[in-house]
C-alpha cells in the first residue's frame, strides 16, 4: 500500500499519474494502428497467412509498445535488458487476466460476448498499466527529466 500512498500524495502525484495514463492510451492507439497495418501489409503485399501475419504484427506491436512506453509514457532510460523481459511478463499476465475475465464473463455470468470483450479489454489495459508502472518501469533513478 506504500506505493499507492506515494503515487497519490499531493497534486504532483495525481498529475503524474494522469499524464502517464493519457500517454499510455496514446501509445496503445499507436500500437494498435501499427499492429494492424503490419498485419494487413503482410497478408496483402507479401501473401502471408492470416495467422503468420497476426503473429508477426503482434511481435512488432509489442516492440513498439515497449519502446514508446519506456521512453514516452514512463520516461525511463535504464538499459533494455533490465525491463524488456519484465515487459513481456507483464504482457503475458495482463493477457491472462483478459482471457480469464473474458471466459468467466461468458461462461459463468452468461454475458454477451461483445460486452465480455469490453470488460476483458478494460481488465487488460488496467492490469498492464499497473504492472508497467510499478514493476516494469518502476526504477525512479533511471527516469528522464
* Helix, strand, coil tally for the chain in percent (to 5): 85, 0, 15
Looking at residue 5, what is its pLDDT?
55
Position 65 pLDDT exceeds 60: yes
Share of the chain above pLDDT 70, in %: 87
pLDDT by residue (tens digit) across 9-59?
A: 544 688 889 999 999 999 999 999 999 999 999 999 999 999 999 999 999
What does the domain layout of the chain look like in residue ranges?
A: 1-73, 77-145
Q: Say which residue the cell 461468458 belongs to.
A: 106
Question: Side-chain half-sphere of 21: how many Cα atoms within 13 Å?
Answer: 11
Question: What 3-state DSSP class applies to 47?
Answer: coil
Amino acid at each position: 500500500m506504500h506505493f499507492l500512498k506515494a503515487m497519490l500524495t499531493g497534486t504532483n502525484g495525481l498529475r503524474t499519474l494522469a499524464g502517464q495514463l493519457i500517454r499510455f492510451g496514446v501509445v496503445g492507439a499507436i500500437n494498435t494502428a501499427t499492429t494492424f497495418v503490419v498485419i494487413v501489409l503482410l497478408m496483402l503485399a507479401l501473401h502471408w497467412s492470416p495467422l503468420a501475419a497476426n503473429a508477426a504484427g503482434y511481435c512488432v506491436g509489442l516492440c513498439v509498445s515497449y519502446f514508446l512506453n519506456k521512453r514516452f509514457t514512463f520516461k525511463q532510460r535504464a538499459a533494455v535488458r533490465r525491463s524488456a523481459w519484465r515487459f513481456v511478463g507483464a504482457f503475458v499476465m495482463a493477457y491472462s487476466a483478459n482471457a480469464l475475465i473474458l471466459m468467466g464473463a461468458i461462461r459463468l455470468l452468461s454475458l454477451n460476448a461483445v460486452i465480455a470483450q469490453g470488460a476483458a479489454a478494460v481488465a487488460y489495459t488496467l492490469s498492464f498499466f499497473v504492472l508497467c508502472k510499478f514493476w516494469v518501469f518502476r526504477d525512479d533513478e533511471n527516469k528522464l527529466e
